[in-house]
Amino acid sequence: MWLRKVLLLGSIFGLGAPLSAAPFTLGIYGVNNPADIRTVKKAGFTGIQTYQQDPATLSQLAQEAKKQGLRVVFYPNQVIGSSYEKEAQNWPVLAWYLVDEPDVARWSRAQVLEAYNIAKSSFPQHLTALVIGQGKTETPFYDLPDILMVDWYPVPHLPLYSFGDQLAWARHAMAAHGAQDNPLWGVVQAFDWKEFEQHRPLEKRMGRFPTEDEMRFMSYHGIINGVNGLFFFIFTTRGVPLPQAQPAWWKRVACVGKELARFRPVLEKGTPAAVPAPVARPLLAKTWQYKKKFYTVLLNASDQPRPLPAEFAQKKYKSLFGHPKKAQLAPYQVLVLRSR
């Protein structure tokens, strides 16, 4: 099975090529209406997911996504064996979605492997993906899908830096299970916990929609911790698309999506390079060379302000995307810097 995965990933991402040469996916969950795909594209996203499973509905979404140049993540369950199975071979499939949080649903490795084999038997040319609810799982699922996703939603009840920590743990576990070359996608929180059932119903209700800065931090924290793509959860609020139901919330998501879309060429075609100056935790940094220039993501992974390192305070480092440099990095602040 592992050999088949290596060959499949090689045919799509380029066997032997560095991960940075592969497409960096920017996706969003819960896009259920073909009419919304154009809106999603304008916000910078390159992929959509839906929990809908009716093959006719998926066909309409796939056709519109293909028209708009986006790719899709669908459940294969109802497509397999249906009259749409042959057509689905040519859908712009980014990955078939095997199962949502098998660690939470208490699935065994055997169950996930069975779902993988069923999907591959019908769609051997397509990738598969599953999402786990945390970076460390009791049952190791890390080597089973072609693409592993981690959804960890810390706002407002957990430290924001826990998002990247979960992804780092998942990346480490993937390597330990021989899946170090597989893509890892982080799922960024874009919802209010109050809309979902509370795990401990007797405790005080907590929740709010993340700020733009919080979503931006989670995105770049994921990038620094080795993700090859990001999905935002979720496009709807109480079943209604965000642009209609909560325009201010959608504006936050779209602003982050557009910024990441502008940075995608660096992530896809840039060459990893040495960070130009020592950076001590809780500051984190990662550098790429792209078109003869150097780009550094510098972030403060703590809830306290930290001094901006003297090297990056120099004029030769330009801060991009409208975030000016100051003497200190605010809590959970991110700077994207460009230098010659």
Number of domains in the chain: 2
**In terms of pLDDT, which residue wins out, 209 or 5?**
209
Q: Is the dihedral of CA 133, 5, 29, 260 positive or negative?
A: positive
What is the mean predicted confidence (pLDDT) over 234-256? 98
Predicted confidence at residue 24, as pLDDT, reads 97
Residues 200 and 303 in one domain: no
pLDDT for 8 beyond 90? no
Q: Are residues 99 and 199 in the same domain?
A: yes
Domain final position from 269, 294, 317: 269
Q: Mean pLDDT, to the nearest integer, of 210-231? A: 98
The answer on 189 and 104 residing in a single domain is: yes
Residues 91 and 219 in one domain: yes
What is the model's pLDDT at position 4? 40
Show which of 269, 288, 307 is a domain's final residue.
Answer: 269
Query: Is it the case that residue 12 has pLDDT exceeding 90?
Result: no
Smallest Cα–Cα separation from 93: which of 111, 79, 74, 78? 74
CA 138 remoteness from chain centre: 22
Question: Do 225 and 245 belong together in one domain?
Answer: yes
Using the 3D structure, point to which of 219, 242, 269 is the last residue of a domain.
Answer: 269
pLDDT at 202: 65
Strand 71-74 with 93-100, pairing: parallel
pLDDT at 324 over 80: yes
**Which residues constitute the domain of residue 291?**
272-339
Instruction: Give the pLDDT score at 291.
Output: 96
- What average pLDDT does this structure show over 179-194? 97
Mean pLDDT of 244-266: 98
Residues 139, 143, 145, 149, CA torsion sign: positive
- pLDDT for the residue numbered 6: 37
Cα dist from 195 to 38, 182, 206, 240, 272, whole Å: 26, 33, 10, 12, 40
What is the model's pTM?
A: 0.93
**What average pLDDT score do residues 208-235 get?**
98
Q: How confident is the model at residue 203 (pLDDT cuts 50, 70, 90)?
A: confident
190 and 171 both lie in a single domain: yes
178 φ/ψ sector (left φ>0, alpha ψ -120 to 50, else beta): left
CATH number at residue 249: 3.20.20.80
Write down the pLDDT at residue 340. Answer: 80
Judge if 99 and 245 occupy the same domain.
Answer: yes
Amino acid at 320: L
Residue 201 pLDDT level (bands cut at 50, 70, 90): low
pLDDT cut 90: percent of the chain above it: 90
User: Which CATH number goes with the domain that contains 326?
Assistant: 2.60.40.1180
Considering the domain architecture, whether residues 262 and 328 belong to the same structural domain is answered as no
ω into 234 cis (within 30 of 0): yes
User: 34-65 pLDDT, tens per residue?
Assistant: 999 999 999 999 999 999 999 999 999 999 99
In a shared domain, residues 213 and 158:
yes
Residues 239, 313 share a domain: no
> What average pLDDT does the structure give for the chain?
93
Q: Are residues 196 and 243 in the same domain?
A: yes
- Residue 310's nearest CA partner among 333, 289, 327, 329 is 327
pLDDT on residue 205? 78
- pLDDT score at 9: 44
pLDDT at 96: 98
pLDDT, residue 140, reads 97
Same-domain check for residues 283 and 236:
no
Average pLDDT of span 180-195: 97
The pLDDT of 168-183, averaged and rounded, is 98
Question: For residue 20, is pLDDT > 90?
Answer: no
